[in-house]
């Protein structure tokens, strides 16, 4: 058996929430490893900025508008991407939102929006893109979990519920899609400073101070800290790994 490669040359990766902090990092990481990249998020103009960065790295890139909570939008994205590239080898379901309110103050719309983007959106994109992977008997799906897939925290009830759903959806789809040659895994970061949380990191330092105090590596994450895990889970090097939640958490989960 040849030594497995960490390269993604000739593959096509699709990243939802691809214009955000961790999504754009994923786009650049997959491109650095050799993949062409589809950058997908509601704001196509912001996706195009990331697509231009990918092209500057010598890869092909396509910016596509998508709302992962809407089947019609996900189906339109799928049709456009398959028309442009003919395949998606790597699907990174990264889109996610938070609603930082107490569980008493949340209203129905807050709850459903957070659940819909992370949990329902992940399933919607897998439902749309798995068939062309099944047809080729190959594919990699990486879902965006969180340390809050397995831990609770105040003022994040729907986020914790949604990320726990993503973790077990990952396992369920790994079981179902494994016989079709598709690996399904998740990454579970702790706090990585992006637009999602920069305001809270800056203005409510006590919240993240509690997290930081539990991190053996002694610092919050930077987006680049996620690159190795994403490329590994997308590459031939992880061929025998599926159904796993890979924590990228500075050791938080070990404490």
Ligand X SMILES: NC(=O)c1ccc[n+]([C@@H]2O[C@H](COP(=O)([O-])OP(=O)(O)OC[C@H]3O[C@@H](n4cnc5c(N)ncnc54)[C@H](O)[C@@H]3O)[C@@H](O)[C@H]2O)c1
CB of 235 to ligand X, least distance (A): 20
Question: 118 or 183: whose CB is closer to ligand X?
Answer: 118
* Contact residue for ligand X among 32, 42, 106, 150 (CB under 6 A): 42
Look at the block and give the residue holding tokens 């025998």.
240
Looking at 1-9, 91-99, 101-109, 238-246, which segment touches ligand X (CB under 6 A)? 91-99
Q: How many residues does the chain have?
A: 255
Catalytic residue among 85, 92, 123, 159: 159
* Contact residue for ligand X among 11, 19, 78, 183 (CB under 6 A): 19
> What is the separation of C-alpha 42 from the centre of its chain, rounded to a whole number of angstroms?
15
What is the size of the binding site for ligand X (CB under 6 A)? 29
Residue 170 near ligand X by CB under 6 A: no
∠ at Cα 204 (203, 206), nearest 5°? 140
* Contact residue for ligand X among 68, 130, 133, 234 (CB under 6 A): 68
CB of 2 to ligand X, least distance (A): 34
Q: Which two tokens stand for residue 229?
A: 């895990």
Task: Answer for the pair 193, 150: CB distance below 8 angstroms, yes or no.
Answer: no
Angle between helix axes 44-56 and 21-32 (nearest 10 degrees) is 30
Residue 189 near ligand X by CB under 6 A: yes
Site for ligand X in 106-135 (CB under 6 A): 117-118, 121
Exposed / middle / buried, residue 244 (Cβ in 10 Å: 0-12, 13-18, 19+): middle
* Contact residue for ligand X among 69, 78, 170, 183 (CB under 6 A): 69
Q: Which two tokens stand for residue 141?
A: 């799906």
Buried b (16+ CB within 10 A) or exposed e, 3-18: eeeeebeebbbbbbbb
* Contact residue for ligand X among 11, 185, 197, 242 (CB under 6 A): 197
In order, the DSSP letters of 88-127 are -SEEEE---------TTT--HHHHHHHHIIIIIHHHHHHH
Q: Which two tokens stand for residue 10?
A: 């000739």
In order, the DSSP letters of 117-139 are IIIIHHHHHHHHHHHHHHHHT-E
Distance CA 113, CA 142 (A): 21
Residue 96 near ligand X by CB under 6 A: yes
Look at the block and give the residue holding tokens 């706090």.
191
CB of 20 to ligand X, least distance (A): 2
208 is catalytic: no
Question: 44 or 138: whose CB is closer to ligand X?
Answer: 44
Residue 144 near ligand X by CB under 6 A: yes
Residue 192 near ligand X by CB under 6 A: yes
* Contact residue for ligand X among 86, 195, 206, 218 (CB under 6 A): 195
List, by residue number, the catalytic residues: 159
Task: Give residues in contact with ligand X (CB under 6 A).
Answer: 16-17, 19-23, 41-42, 66-69, 94-97, 117-118, 121, 144, 146, 189, 191-192, 194-197
């Amino acid at each position: 058996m040849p030594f497995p490669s960490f390269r993604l040359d000739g593959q096509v990766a699709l990243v939802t929430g691809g214009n955000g902090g961790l999504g754009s990092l994923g786009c650049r990481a997959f491109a650095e490893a050799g993949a062409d990249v589809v950058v997908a998020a509601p704001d196509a103009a912001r996706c195009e900025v990331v697509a231009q960065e990918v092209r500057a790295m010598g890869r092909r890139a396509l910016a596509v508008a998508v709302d992962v909570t809407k089947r019609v939008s996900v189906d339109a994205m799928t049709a456009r991407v398959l028309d442009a590239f003919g395949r998606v080898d790597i699907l990174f379901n990264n889109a996610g939102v938070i609603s930082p309110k107490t569980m008493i103050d949340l209203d129905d719309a807050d709850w459903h929006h957070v659940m819909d983007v992370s949990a329902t959106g992940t399933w919607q994109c897998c439902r749309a893109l798995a068939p062309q992977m099944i047809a080729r008997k190959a594919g990699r799906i990486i879902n965006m979990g969180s340390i809050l897939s397995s831990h609770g925290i105040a003022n994040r009830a729907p986020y914790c519920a949604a990320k726990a759903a993503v973790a077990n959806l990952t396992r369920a789809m790994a079981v179902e899609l494994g016989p079709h040659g598709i690996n399904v895994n998740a990454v579970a970061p702790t706090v990585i400073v992006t637009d999602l949380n920069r305001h809270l990191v800056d203005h409510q330092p006590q919240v993240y101070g509690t997290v930081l105090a539990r991190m053996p590596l002694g610092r919050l994450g930077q987006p680049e800290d996620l690159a190795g895990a994403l490329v590994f889970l997308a590459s031939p090097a992880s061929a025998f790994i599926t159904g796993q939640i890979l924590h990228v958490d500075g050791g938080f989960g070990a404490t």
